[in-house]
Amino acid sequence: MSTIGFIGLGRMGRPMSTNLCRKGFKLLVHDVNMEAVRELEKVEARAATPIEMAATCDIIVTMLPNSEIVRDVVLGILPQVRSGSLIMDMSTIDPLVTDRLAEECARKGVEFVDAPVGRLASHADRGESLFMVGASEENFTRVRPLLEAMGTTIHHCGGVGTGTRTKLVNNYLAIVSCQTNAEALALAQRFGLNLEKTLEVLYGTTAINGQLKIAWPSKVLAGDIEPGFTVNLAHKDLTLILEAANAAHVPMTVGAAAREAFNVARSRGHGLNDFSVMVDVLCELAGIKKPRLKD
């Protein structure tokens, strides 16, 4: 089995790389946080620099915080990456950066795949992530065993760049739904409605969405605002989405308003909380009791 390089051991990258190790893949790993690297060494991964990975690995995976870091890392190692090797970026980044990196890799004879991750960190912990993959048929077949070791649902969205763009569409709906849910439940609180009965009604109509029915009862409505997906990340993704939409000449008026709402939450110290905390933020601003389900 060939050795895989994995760069980026944050809240998503660490469990994803851990699952690769547990499924028998040989990994070289790198992160600026040495504690994260040491955790991976416990499951038999080996620490390495990105340049060392470029010289020895057939596949290098990146799972990094933003477009700039992904660009700098990939372009930094590309001169040393061997022809025929493959770089798979799993970060959520600007699709125009994805396009540029794919072009630069092609000039070097290096394959490129974008495979951003869906679902939450808790799903990554359990090896239940969802992947949106932009790749040629040949490269999709090449990376599929890795994806199957890290997740349960894999969508081949089309050629390079379609994975990243699909992720932005998905996250747009998820994040904007979070904001509309927050506004709706804050209004219900102001009206003095029973939360359980209100949710029962919503669950039986077309107003329902996955955030409200699946995620929120175990997160903010249970008083848990520990991050699965933070307010900071939601704000960052909405910024990416709006910039990509502007480049494509698509107006996003609701998205722009939602981004500013998340910025308000950040300004009030909620940046590292789960993005479902938006309902608490609105209730704080309006002087309303926060909605909580009964035990």
**Which element (helix H / strand E) includes 132?**
strand 129-134
DSSP-assigned letters across all residues of 232-278:
HHHHHHHHHHHHHHHHTT---HHHHHHHHHHHHHHHTT-TTSBGGGH
Contacts of 171 (CB under 8 A, 6+ apart): 92, 237, 241
Find out whether 255 and 209 touch, Cβ atoms under 8 Å: no
Q: Give the Cα separation of 227 and 210 in Å (integer).
A: 17
Q: Which residue has the tokens 């798979």?
A: 88
Q: Give the Cα separation of 177 and 272 in Å (integer).
A: 19
Strand partners, 156: 133
* Helices and strands per DSSP (H, E), number in the chain: 13, 9
Active site residue 167: yes
Find out whether 60 and 13 touch, Cβ atoms under 8 Å: no
From the list 23, 26, 42, 167, the catalytic residue is 167
Q: Give the Cα separation of 58 and 86 in Å (integer).
A: 6
Find out whether 44 and 20 touch, Cβ atoms under 8 Å: no
Structure tokens at 63: 């799972």
Find out whether 30 and 47 touch, Cβ atoms under 8 Å: yes
Residues designated as active site: 167
